[in-house]
Amino acid sequence: MKPSIIVHGGAWDIPEGLAESNVKGCEHAAHKGFEELEGGASALDAVVESVAAMEDNPTFNAGVGAVLNRSGMVELDAIVMDGASLRYGAVAAIQSTRNPIKVARTILDERNYSLLVAEGALKHADEHGFSRCSAEDLLVGRELEDYREFQRTGRIRTRLHFSGEADTVGACAIDQEGHVACATSTGGIPRKHLGRVGDSPIIGCGGYADDRAGAASATGWGEQIASVILAKTALDLQGQLSDPTAACREAVSILSERVDGLGGVIMVGIDGRVGLYHNTPRMAFAFIEGMSGSTGAGISL
Ligand code: ASP
């Protein structure tokens, strides 16, 4: 079948100054993954490539460009899931790592664990030859300025993060064999508590993939997303509705109605159609739908 891919660069109030780089970053990541798919790569490899490209892009809150927690540290969360085997790999609160999604990918191949946290995740990364980086390597100027303001004022405004500052990245794809996969990566919520883990690396919450339904990746206020298991909820709705946009919309309305949550979700269905929906002011995205030949990128309002 013809492959498709959709990526997001976070659902939040993207300021004008970052809009163009967000859209460009999403476009670049979608094309990178799609080239892999066209070359015969698996959906799993494609979503890892796309998300790694966004982790390398300082525009986004993932990998380089990730936010600092309250203690002035960068702790990263990521998940990748394969819809054919239902296997997943995830890391949470990992430090000193440029590409947590690639570490998560190596965990997916493990038999004895699927999610590793903090020091354990870093040990696994060391054992698999990932080189460590310093916190400064991941830090960008805008984040340092915001952190200094937090140090001055002590203010933490979680609700404002999603009308303000958070931009997790994610990708969902279907390959030529009809297999689906998802990947999600984040620095989490700015000024989060040391050790806080959001929805992103938790199966069903920040991502889920099942060859019988499709693949979904979520972004937004993690505690609320986890309460409604947003990615899996969206895929269950896709099973009923067979319309990725409608399924994402319904899932986000559950997020709003049940927990007053803020966020968004992207999806690829097993027929290769893509969809997205969010209730935040904006969400950056890009997609290439092989079957219809339609492509798109932008800031959804
Ligand atoms: N969901 C992420 C978290 O709560 C943040 C985001 O998507 O922007 O850690």
Q: Which of 94, 155, 146, 83 is nearest to 125 (CA)?
A: 94
Range in 107-121, 163-177, 220-234 with the lowest mean pLDDT: 163-177
pLDDT at 166 over 60: no
Q: Which fold has domain 4-300?
A: Glutamine Phosphoribosylpyrophosphate, subunit 1, domain 1 (3.60.20)
Separation CA 137–CA 270 (nearest Å): 39
Residue range 142-151: average pLDDT?
79
Q: pLDDT tens digits, residue range 64-100?
A: 989 999 999 999 999 999 999 999 999 999 999 999 9
Interstrand relation of 263-269 and 214-220 (parallel, antiparallel or unpaired)? antiparallel
Are 130 and 102 contacting, i.e. CB atoms less than 8 angstroms apart?
Answer: yes
pLDDT of residue 273: 97
Q: pLDDT tens digits, residue range 240-264?
A: 999 999 999 999 999 999 999 999 9
pLDDT of residue 162: 52
Which residues pair with residue 4 across a beta bridge?
174, 289
Residue 49 banded pLDDT, cuts 50, 70, 90: very high
Ligand 1 centroid–CA 179 distance in Å is: 26
Are 238 and 269 contacting, i.e. CB atoms less than 8 angstroms apart?
Answer: yes
- Among 97, 168, 184, 219, the active-site one is 168
Please give all residues whose beta carbon lies within 6 A of any atom in ligand 1, as ranges. Answer: 10, 166-168, 186, 188-189, 198-200, 219-222, 225
Are 222 and 254 contacting, i.e. CB atoms less than 8 angstroms apart?
Answer: no
Ligand 1 centroid–CA 1 distance in Å is: 33
pLDDT of residue 97: 96
DSSP 64: T
Range in 73-77, 141-145, 290-294 with the lowest mean pLDDT: 141-145
Cβ neighbours for 234, distance < 8 A, ≥ 6 positions apart: 216, 218, 247, 248, 250, 251, 265, 267
Domain locations along the chain: 4-300
- The pTM assigned to this predicted structure is 0.93
pLDDT of residue 144: 79
Separation CA 205–CA 228 (nearest Å): 8
pLDDT at 38 over 70: yes
Is 168 a catalytic site residue? yes
Residue range 137-141: average pLDDT?
83
Residue 164 banded pLDDT, cuts 50, 70, 90: very low
